[in-house]
Amino acid sequence: MAKTEIKVGFGDQVKAVSVELPKGEAKPWDADAQLEVVGKPIPRRDGALKVSGRAKYTYDVNLPGMLYAAVVRSPLPAAKVVSVDTSAAEKIAGVKAVVQVAEKGDAVLFAGQDVAAVVAERPEQAWQAARAVKVEYEQRRFVTRLAFAATPDAPLVHRGAVEERRTEGHVTEGGGGDAQGNKRPLRPMKKGDVSKGLKGATVHEAVYETQVQTHSALETHGIVARWDDDEHLTVWASTQSIFSVRDELAEVFDLKPTNVRVHTDYLGGGFGAKFGASAPGSRLGTIAARLAKQTGAPVKLMCDRHEEQVCTGNRPDSIQTVKVAGKGTALTAIEVQSIGTAGIGTGAGVGRNAFAVYTKCPNILVDSSDVFTNAGPGTAMRAPGHPQGAFAFELALDELATKLGVDPIELRLANDEHPVRLWQFEEGAKRFDWKAKRAESKRLREGKARIRRGCGVAASIWGDFGRPKAAVVTCSVLRDGSVEIRNGVQDIGTGIPTVLAQIGAEVFTRPLDTIIVRYGDSELGSSVGSGGSQTTSSVTPAVRNACEDAKEKFIEHVAELLGAKPADVSWANDGTLSAGGASITFAQACKKIPGESITATADRPATYGNHPMPFLGAPMPQIAGVQFAEVEVDTWTGVVRAKHVLAMHDCGRVMNRLTCTSQVNGGVILGTSYALMEQRVMDHDVGRMLNPNLESYKICGAADTPEIEVVLTDVYTGANNTGAAGIGEPSTIPTAAALACAVFDALGEPVRRLPMTPSRVLAALGAVPAPKGLG
C-alpha cells in the first residue's frame, strides 16, 4: 500500500509524517488543508425549529388511536412482592390493559422499581389506574448509605448474580476481584510502587467526597411503540443510540433487527442514560411495546420527572482517600482508594485523571470499588467517573502544592507530558492573568475580606474513540442539483446534521443549503450511539468518503458529457465544470444524470494515527483540555459564585466552531452545576430520594452560570480523514475540579466535598462544625 505524507501537530509544532491509508480512504485534511466550510461557525440547521417549538420530539409524537401507558413503581427500597391486585385498576374508565411486570415472589431492590403497568385512552386515566393497582409487599432490610453498605453488617443488596449493564461509550473498568458483601472491586490502575514514592517526600493525604448527580435531561425517557404487523415494530424513542434501541427490541421480541424501525428526529438531552429502548432502572421500552402488542394500538410511555430522577440512571457518588507525594516540583507517588455506589448497578470508578494525566509521576495506584445500595442504578454520565476523580485529585494536588510551596500550574507543568495540555496550561495562564489573580486572592484572604476571590486550574483527559465500520453513509447527487447525505445517526443535540452538511458542502464546493442531510432513522444506514464523545469522529470520515466517492463518479459523468477524461475535468468554485474548452454548470450536469442520482456508499476505517500523543498506550490520540476557573465567595453567607471559566480544549480539527463551542459551554455549565448545587438527597431511614424534581434537585440556571471563554486548540492528529475528535465529555471533566481549587485559593481551606454549598463553605471557614458526609 502506498504511503501518503500528511502534516500533523498543532500551533507551531507541525511535522510531516507518512501514513499508510486504508483502501478507499480519502487523504486526511491535515495541517495544510485549506477548508472553506468545515471549521466555520455555522448555526445549527434546526435552531429556529427548536426555539420556536416546531421541532417534534418523541414527547410530541401523537399517532391516531394512540394509548398512554403508566408504570406502577415500588414505593419501598427493598421488599418481596406478595401480591398484585389489578382488579380495581381494570375497572377505571378508559383503561385497556393492566399487566404485571414483577411477579409474586419477585424482589424489589430500590424505591422506583417497575412492578406493574397500565395503558389507557388518556394519560390521566392511566395515572389514576396506576394508583389503583394494589400491591402487597413484604418489607426487607435495606441500605442506601454508601459507607454503611460497604461494611459486613449491611444487608445484602443483591442476593444472586449481578446483571451488568453495558452501554455504548461507557468504557467499563471491568471487575477486578471477587465481591465481598455489597463491595465489588474494580480492576486497579497501577504502575511503579507507591510506598517507594512516599519515602522522603512531602505527603498530602485527605478524604474527598462527591455526590450522586442525575442526568436530568429536559426531555424525560420515553418511547412510542407501534406494531405494523406481528413481525414489524416501529418506535419513536428519546434515545442517544438508535441502533442499540433497535437491537434491544429485536432481541426482546424475537424479531429481525431490520424489522424494527427506530426514529429519533430530535432528542431533548441524553448525557449517557439514553442508550437503550428502556432506561437503566426501568424496562419502559419493552413495557410500551408489550402493551402495544396486547392492545393492538400504538402506545406512548414517557417518564414523569419523579420517575426520571429515581430510575433512569445517575452519576455514582464517591468517597476517595487521596494520597499524593512530591519532592520539589516532581510528583513521586499518587494513590487513590475509592468506593462509590451506582445503587443496584455498577460503574462507580473514578476515571483516569489521577492515573493518566501527570504521567511523569512514576508510582501510581488507583483502586476503586463499587458498593451496592438499594437505590436506582447509576449509569454512564458524560465522562463516567472522570469529574469525580478530577475533583478529588486536582484539589489534593493543590493542597500538596501549598505544602510544597509551589504554584499549582508549575506543579502541573512539571508532571504532565501531553504537549497540547502543556501549551494549554501556559497559554491559559497568560490569558487568565493567573499570577495577578492569585496575588489578589492572597491579599483578600490574608486581609480576611468579606468577599474573597480565588482561581483554580484542572486538567481533562479523554481518548478519540472514533469507531471504525460503524457508520455507513450514502451520498447521492440528485438531478435537482442537491446533494443528499443519509445516515441513521441521531442528533443528541450537538448539531451533527449541520456538521455533516458542512462536510458535503466542502467536498462538492456547493452552497450549504443545497446539501440535504437525512438522519435520525434506522432505515438510513447504520451508525454509532452518541457516547464516548465519538459521534463526530465516527461519522464525518464516513460522510467524507461517501461524498468523495460520489464526486468521483459525478466527475466521470461530467467527463462523458464533455467528451473528456475525468482527470481533465476542472471544478470551479462557482460550480462550473470544464474540460478541453467545453464547460457545463453543476445544475446542468445534474439534470443529465441518468436515472435519479449518482450515489456512493462508504464507511470509516479504523483510526490510523495518534498525534501528538496516544491515549493510555492505545492506538488513538489522547484529547487534551485545561480549564481555569475564578470564584467569588461571600464569607458571611458561604455562597460561592462561579464568575469566570476559561476552557481550553482540543478536539482534533474543529468541524464547526459554533456548535463545538456550544458543547464546551454545556460541559462547563454541567460541571458548574455539579460543583455548586446538584445533589441527589436520599433519606437513609426511609430509603427514598427526597428531591425527585427539578426544584430541590437544583440545576444551575442563567444567574449561576459563569462567563465562559472557550479556546479551541486545533490539533491535526492524522487519525481519520476529517481529523475530528471528541469534545462532549472532555469539556465537563475539569470544571468542578477547577472550581474546587478556586474555592481553596479563596478560603485558604479546602472544601473536600461536592457540592460546595454554603453549608460546606461555612464549615471550611470554621463557622460551624463540618456537617455529616455520605458516611
Q: Which residues bind other proteins (CB under 8 A)?
A: 75, 111, 124, 127-128, 131, 447, 449-450, 634-639, 641, 676-677, 681, 683, 685-686, 688, 690-692, 695-696, 698-704, 757-759, 762-763, 767-769, 771-772
- Lookup: cell for 627: 480549564
CA–CA dist 92, 39 (Å, integer): 57
Asked if residues 563 and 552 have their Cβ atoms less than 8 Å apart, the reply is no
Task: Kindly tell me which of 606 and 681 has the beta carbon lying closer to other proteins.
Answer: 681
- Lookup: cell for 661: 463551542
Beta-carbon contacts of residue 471 (< 8 Å; ≥ 6 apart): 487, 489, 525, 526, 527, 528, 538, 539, 542, 543, 603, 604
Nearest distance in Å: CB 124, other proteins: 7
340, exposed or middle or buried, with CB in 10 Å at 0-12, 13-18, 19+? buried
3-state secondary structure 189-220: EEECCHHHHHCCCEEEEEEEEECCEECCCCCC
CA–CA dist 320, 337 (Å, integer): 6
Task: Kindly tell me which of 648 and 762 has the beta carbon lying closer to other proteins.
Answer: 762
Q: Which residues pair with 368 in a beta bridge?
A: 338
Nearest distance in Å: CB 287, other proteins: 21
Task: Kindly tell me which of 397 and 764 has the beta carbon lying closer to other proteins.
Answer: 764
Task: Kindly tell me which of 128 and 490 has the beta carbon lying closer to other proteins.
Answer: 128
Query: One-letter amino acid identity for 151?
Result: T
**DSSP single-letter state for residue 28:** P
Task: Kindly tell me which of 111 and 117 has the beta carbon lying closer to other proteins.
Answer: 111
Nearest distance in Å: CB 696, other proteins: 6
Identify the residue whose cell numbers are 458524560: 382
CA–CA dist 348, 346 (Å, integer): 6
| DSSP one-letter string for 457-476 | EEEEEEE--PPSS---EEEE
Nearest distance in Å: CB 305, other proteins: 10
Asked if residues 267 and 240 have their Cβ atoms less than 8 Å apart, the reply is yes
**DSSP single-letter state for residue 521:** B
- Lookup: cell for 241: 443510540
Asked if residues 353 and 187 have their Cβ atoms less than 8 Å apart, the reply is no
Task: Kindly tell me which of 68 and 355 has the beta carbon lying closer to other proteins.
Answer: 68
Asked if residues 211 and 572 have their Cβ atoms less than 8 Å apart, the reply is no
CA–CA dist 437, 16 (Å, integer): 40
Asked if residues 10 and 713 have their Cβ atoms less than 8 Å apart, the reply is yes
Nearest distance in Å: CB 687, other proteins: 10
Task: Kindly tell me which of 46 and 121 has the beta carbon lying closer to other proteins.
Answer: 121
**CA dihedral of 395, 396, 402, 403, whole degrees rounded to 10:** 170
Nearest distance in Å: CB 705, other proteins: 8
Task: Kindly tell me which of 676 and 712 has the beta carbon lying closer to other proteins.
Answer: 676
Nearest distance in Å: CB 707, other proteins: 14
Task: Kindly tell me which of 543 and 677 has the beta carbon lying closer to other proteins.
Answer: 677
Nearest distance in Å: CB 169, other proteins: 30
Nearest distance in Å: CB 703, other proteins: 4
Task: Kindly tell me which of 666 and 728 has the beta carbon lying closer to other proteins.
Answer: 666
Three-state DSSP state, 740: helix
381, exposed or middle or buried, with CB in 10 Å at 0-12, 13-18, 19+? buried
Nearest distance in Å: CB 363, other proteins: 39
The DSSP H or E segment spanning 239 is: none
CA–CA dist 528, 543 (Å, integer): 13
**CA dihedral of 222, 224, 229, 230, whole degrees rounded to 10:** 20
CA–CA dist 240, 261 (Å, integer): 15
- Please choose, from the candidates 277, 216, 181, 188, the residue with its C-alpha nearest in 3D space to the C-alpha of residue 529: 277
Task: Kindly tell me which of 435 and 443 has the beta carbon lying closer to other proteins.
Answer: 443
Task: Kindly tell me which of 80 and 698 has the beta carbon lying closer to other proteins.
Answer: 698
Task: Kindly tell me which of 74 and 476 has the beta carbon lying closer to other proteins.
Answer: 74
Nearest distance in Å: CB 492, other proteins: 25
Asked if residues 626 and 734 have their Cβ atoms less than 8 Å apart, the reply is yes
Nearest distance in Å: CB 751, other proteins: 12
CA–CA dist 160, 164 (Å, integer): 12
Task: Kindly tell me which of 553 and 698 has the beta carbon lying closer to other proteins.
Answer: 698
Nearest distance in Å: CB 18, other proteins: 54
Q: How far apart are the first and last CA of the chain?
A: 60
| DSSP one-letter string for 528-595 | --S-TT-HHHHHHHHHHHHHHHHHHHHHHHHHHHHTS-GGG-EE-TTSEEEETTEEEEHHHHHHT-SS
CA–CA dist 215, 260 (Å, integer): 27
Nearest distance in Å: CB 139, other proteins: 13
Nearest distance in Å: CB 578, other proteins: 59
Nearest distance in Å: CB 312, other proteins: 18
Nearest distance in Å: CB 474, other proteins: 45
Asked if residues 580 and 587 have their Cβ atoms less than 8 Å apart, the reply is no
Task: Kindly tell me which of 218 and 690 has the beta carbon lying closer to other proteins.
Answer: 690
Task: Kindly tell me which of 250 and 770 has the beta carbon lying closer to other proteins.
Answer: 770
Task: Kindly tell me which of 482 and 759 has the beta carbon lying closer to other proteins.
Answer: 759
Nearest distance in Å: CB 111, other proteins: 8
Q: Give the chain's largest Cα–Cα span.
A: 88
513, exposed or middle or buried, with CB in 10 Å at 0-12, 13-18, 19+? exposed
Task: Kindly tell me which of 7 and 131 has the beta carbon lying closer to other proteins.
Answer: 131
